[in-house]
Chain A
Amino acid sequence: MSLAKNNASKKRFDGTAYLYIAVVLLLVAVIVVFPIGYTVYISTTNMNLYHWYDFDFIGFSNYIRAFAQTNGEFLRSLGLTLLWTIANMVLIIFVSLVLAVLLNIKGFKGKNIYKTLLMFPWAVPSYVSILLWRIGIFNGEFGLFGDISRFFGGDSFFILQSYWGAFFASLMVNVWLSYPFTMSMMDGALQSIDQSLYEAAKLDGSGFWRTTFAISLPEIAPIVAPSLLMTAFMQFKQFDVVYLLTLQKGAQTGAGLQTIITYVHTTAFESNNYGLSSAISTIIFMLIALLFSRFAYREAKGRGK
């Protein structure tokens, strides 16, 4: 009797709750779901320069084309994007962790000043930072790289003109732009660790490395995991670093570096084939959604335990 009453009130509550969030759901539908749905719809049409307004439904032809391109540009850019994501994550985690651990050394004076300085890349608009890197660091004539080369008796060289040189340079800039977020997450997580654990470890004679690997890392892992996951997806769909360093109109360096997102951009805005580029965008979306749901499921399962 009481259980039935509870169930009934629960049902009524659910209905009211949906009513309350109806406006938000509508907003989400308009802002998030509709653009995704429209992109999927366009991906099944032949919307391109020659069918700008009179496009027709063509089924999955664009998806087949994306994978079957004779020069394999799509698959090559997908492969490079995976490498890009992995390399970035390894470097971002390493740099962030080292800095966060250093910032949390007991008795470290001027910690707040250093922390503010280290957050600097986050504060500057990325457009400005990237162009500053391009001219101030990578430029063969006026940049730091050119100066170093000439100092050691070499010639001026322009790193952004070669494929792997541009990859390395883009990686460097992206890590510089991305570490402040991860570092601040790790810093916060490190501060939340119960100090008695460190005291106990100290009494047991544990050194810096042992303490880091046995206490710090396992303790912060569950806290920083969601932010790392988010960072990984941000790296996967990174656009502006590679574009502004090597592909910007009028300043193309000819490196030929294409990640999946710059490839979509080229297809959409140079080839003007919105059907094909929407199909590629949908594939990327599915990949991210698939990976994200898998990680989110694992995380939820982990928490449940």
Chain B
Amino acid sequence: MKRQVIIPLAALLSVVALAGCAPEGNDSSTSSGTPASTTITFWHDNDKAMMDYLASAATDALKDEHIVVQAVKKSGIQDQIKLYGNDASNGPDFFFGAHDAIGAYAEMGILSGIENFASAETLGGFMESTVDAGEYKGTKYLFPLYAETNLLFYNKDLWKGEMPTTTEGLLQYNKSRVAEGGYGFLNQYNDTYNAAPWVNGFGGFVIDANANPGINNAATKEAAAYNAKFAPTMSDGAYDTITNLFLEGKADGILAGPWFVSSVKEAGIDCGYVSLSRFALPNGKGLAPYEGVQGFAVMKYAEAKKEAIGKALEAMADVEVAKALAKDYNCTPALTAASNASEVTSNEMIKETQYTIAQTAVPTPNIPEMGVMWTPFTNFLTAVNKGGDVDENAEKFQNEALQAIANMH
């Protein structure tokens, strides 16, 4: 009796368990002679509605080709890609992410060059800087979709007077607002990414193309010392604090990127945007934020689906798609043909981002060593902003950065 129950139950469990091992998204055809359909999947850790729109736009465009594109949201996508980088059964065919992680994936050997999937003509249709940002050791890996930079967001109801044209003007504005008991323009002044406009503007760098850390570079030190002048006027510079001060209508401005727009809209703030390139540093050059490029990269093991993936990418590089992303999600298109569309030119934030990219923006380094620079550079900035000796701390954290880089090997 027991055996009669246990054996079928065990068989059922085995079938269920093994069914879980079946790969998702594969070629399928029906026995009735209907052409085979191909399902390709990309992972992302982005706005779900935007990614679903991209997948459905590509699926619609490829309806006659029987190609179905699926978008799957995965939190902590960088770790997920590393984990599934060699797992064709469970990993994605391609993924959507920022260009600065490309170098690490390329070194791991899990990516296929994007030129295997997109023609030179298609890639030539993107802004050159966005394609270059995804290039590592002579191979292009990224199919760019949009670019982003930090901008000055300001509350139109709070900002007093004309917008300054120099960083000195900004500093004076902040000082006067603090003296009045308010807040001027806020920034995460200890954060590497957010202090980069000062560092790059002074001619310094976090890390160069040859993986040399730039913490003890003379221009970097000068930039850090200048950045520290802003610290006393920017509250504690912590993300939670400054975003809340701005969203609660207590601060006049904040340094932020397109990812912050939805929160600003939800808070009902009448917000204006100014390119950081419009603020001249004491050396006469504009602030130079990092430029991030978001796009698709294809897994090496997905080369067998070359045709389907190539067609999906081409479909997503459509002008109408770029316009929709600009209109609904404030994305600055990488596609040159979309640059002059009304959806793009009428968007103040995109216009200012385009201006920054054209003027002073510096692509975030995509070499793997950049991944270990965030912590020592942030610690260096924190030490200087607290009044620590610039030279002493530059040497200390330069050594920490060198050690962190050595630890990678």
Q: Which residues of A contact B (CB under 8 A)?
A: 48-50, 52-53, 69-71, 73, 134-135, 139-142, 146, 156-158, 161-162, 247, 250-256, 266-267, 269-273, 276
Contacts and interface: CB of A to CB of B under 8 A. Distances in A.
Interface stretch (B54-62, B145-153, B343-351, B396-404): B396-404
B14 interface: no
Contact of B104 (A139, A142, A251, A272): A272
Contact of A140 (B86, B238, B383): B238
B98 to A, nearest CB: 13
B85 interface: yes
14 contacts: A49-B107, A53-B109, A71-B403, A139-B236, A139-B238, A141-B236, A161-B386, A251-B238, A254-B190, A254-B381, A256-B382, A270-B371, A272-B82, A272-B368
Contacts of A161: 190, 236, 382, 386
Given A48-B409, A50-B107, A270-B375, A251 B239 contact: yes
Nearest to B380: A254
A273 B382 contact: no
B79 interface: yes
B408 interface: yes
CB-CB nearest 5 A-B residue pairs? A254-B382, A140-B236, A158-B236, A52-B108, A271-B407
B104 A158 contact: no
Contacts of A139: 236, 238, 240-241
Interface of B: 79, 82, 85-86, 104, 107-110, 190-191, 235-241, 244-245, 368, 371-372, 374-375, 378-379, 381-383, 386, 399-400, 403-404, 407-409
A276 B407 contact: yes
A161 B244 CA distance: 19
A302 B368 CA distance: 54
B244 A142 contact: yes
Nearest to B396: A71
B240 A251 contact: yes
A52 B85 contact: yes
Contact of A71 (B108, B245, B378, B399): B399
B383 A273 contact: no
Given A139-B240, A140-B235, A272 B109 contact: no
Nearest to A157: B236
A38 B109 CA distance: 23
B368 A49 contact: yes
A254 B379 contact: yes
Contact of A270 (B86, B372, B381): B372
A114 B67 CA distance: 63
Contacts of A70: 399, 403
A273 B241 contact: no
A53 B83 CA distance: 11
Contacts of B409: 48, 50, 273
B408 A48 contact: yes
B48 to A, nearest CB: 20
Given A135-B240, A273-B407, 10 more contacts: A52-B110, A71-B403, A139-B241, A141-B241, A252-B378, A253-B190, A253-B382, A254-B378, A254-B379, A270-B404
- Most chain A beta-carbon neighbours within 10 Å: one of B82, B238, B239, B379: B238
A69 B403 CA distance: 8
A55 to B, nearest CB: 12
A184 B347 CA distance: 60
B284 to A, nearest CB: 30
A141 B239 CA distance: 12
Contacts of A141: 235-236, 238, 241, 244-245
Nearest to B232: A155
A257 B381 CA distance: 15
Contact of B407 (A135, A157, A251, A267): A267
A229 B70 CA distance: 51
A76 to B, nearest CB: 11
Contacts of B107: 49-50, 52
B258 to A, nearest CB: 16
Contacts of A266: 375, 404
Nearest to B103: A49
Given A70-B403, A161-B236, A267-B407, A256 B190 contact: no
- Most chain A beta-carbon neighbours within 10 Å: one of B190, B383, B409: B409
A252 B191 contact: yes
A134 B240 CA distance: 9
Contacts of B372: 270-271
A48 B109 CA distance: 12
A73 B397 CA distance: 12
Contacts of A251: 238-240
Nearest to B383: A254
